[in-house]
Amino acid sequence: MEIWFYHLQSQPLERALPALLERALAQGWRAVVQAASEERLDALDEVLWTYADASFLAHGRARDGDAEMQPVYLTCGGENPNAARLRLFVDGADVAGNLAADAAYERAILLFDGNDPDQLDGARSQWKALKSSGFPLTYWQQNERGGWEKRG
């Protein structure tokens, strides 16, 4: 499994996340998005329905039922009910604590806001912990146009 760190700089999570999910779904992957709080999941839930006038991303949470059928599943926990191959961590959700038990993922992505000192420090701490555990890590930085450049 690969773990990628996505350093947001020019776009907020609310713009970057739908684009990443669209790409994953286009590849035939299902995804789990893990946040650190139910309040954040409420906001992301709304974003995925309304981020573009012409489209939306079908998704669900445990309270919606049929979790195994959701192309994108939103959670605060470590579950993977939709057999996702991609797991995205936002707002400081714990990567290491939620990956060791589940080898089903091909890729995990930690998205963090480079303009938020707490998220930046949290990402650095998670990088160190994951590196010391032997996970293969890659760092991507967002450019001014919202694209991604591999940095390491």
**What does the pLDDT look like over 96-117, one tens digit per residue?**
888 864 568 999 999 999 999 9
Task: Look at 147 and 111; give whichever has higher pLDDT.
Answer: 111
Averaged pLDDT score across all residues of the chain = 93
Percent of the chain with pLDDT over 90: 85
pLDDT at 103: 63
Q: Yes or no: say if 123 and 102 are a contact pair by the CB < 8 Å rule.
A: no
CB atoms within 10 A of CB 28: 8
pTM: 0.94
Closest by CA to 148, choosing from 109, 95, 105, is 109
Task: Please report, to the nearest 10 degrees, the dihedral formed by the alpha carbons of residues 87, 13, 93, 120 taken in order.
Answer: 120
pLDDT at 96: 87
User: What is the pLDDT averaged over residues 117-136?
Assistant: 94
Can you tell me the distance from the alpha carbon of 107 to that of 85, in angstroms, rounded to the nearest whole number? 7
CATH number of 2-150: 3.40.50.10110
pLDDT at 100: 64
Q: Residue 90: which pLDDT band, with cuts at 50, 70 and 90?
A: very high
Task: Look at 6 and 104; give whichever has higher pLDDT.
Answer: 6
